[in-house]
A = this chain, B = another copy of it.
Amino acid sequence: MWGVALTVHTDYLRFNTESRQEIVRITDKVKTIVERSRVQDGTVLVSAMHITAGVFVNDWESGLIKDFEVWLEKLAPAGLPYKHHQTGEDNADAHLKRTIMGHQVIVPITAGRLDLGPWEQLFYAEFDGQREKRVVVKVMGV
């Protein structure tokens, strides 16, 4: 589309996970916000607002999600003598894990729909939960 005026639409998702670490599928919630925006062609930014959580795109398969958790524990283990813990915190590993997974994604919107490949699903990755956290969702387009 050429020469059409811009729509910007903002919303927030809220999470308060039962476990400290949890991976939550959010594709449908993002889809609902995009539909509400009426944007037909553009992008939607989905970005964790907390520094121990991430947002990523991958496969909705429980085995793979478990593989991600095991892998992250290997690359960024909990319980090491992190300097960050001298402040009274105990979650340095959560900051590292979210860095590997990424804290935001941009999803293209085409013909009013999330322009995702056949297996792409959006996930919220909590690494230090059990308290309220937010994800900002910003739709931009025409």
Contacts and interface: CB of A to CB of B under 8 A. Distances in A.
Interface of A: 1-8, 10, 38, 41-43, 45, 47-51, 56-59, 61-64, 66-68, 71, 75-76, 82-87, 92, 95-96, 99-108, 110, 115-120, 134, 136, 138, 140-142
A50 B5 contact: no
Contacts of A142: 6, 8
A73 to B, nearest CB: 13
B57 A71 contact: no
A6 to B, nearest CB: 5
A62 B82 CA distance: 11
Contacts of A41: 8, 10
A8 to B, nearest CB: 4
A142 B138 CA distance: 13
A10 B103 CA distance: 24
A45 B112 CA distance: 17
A87 to B, nearest CB: 6
Contact of A67 (B48, B49, B75, B92): B92
Given A41-B10, A142-B6, A57 B66 contact: no
A87 B63 CA distance: 8
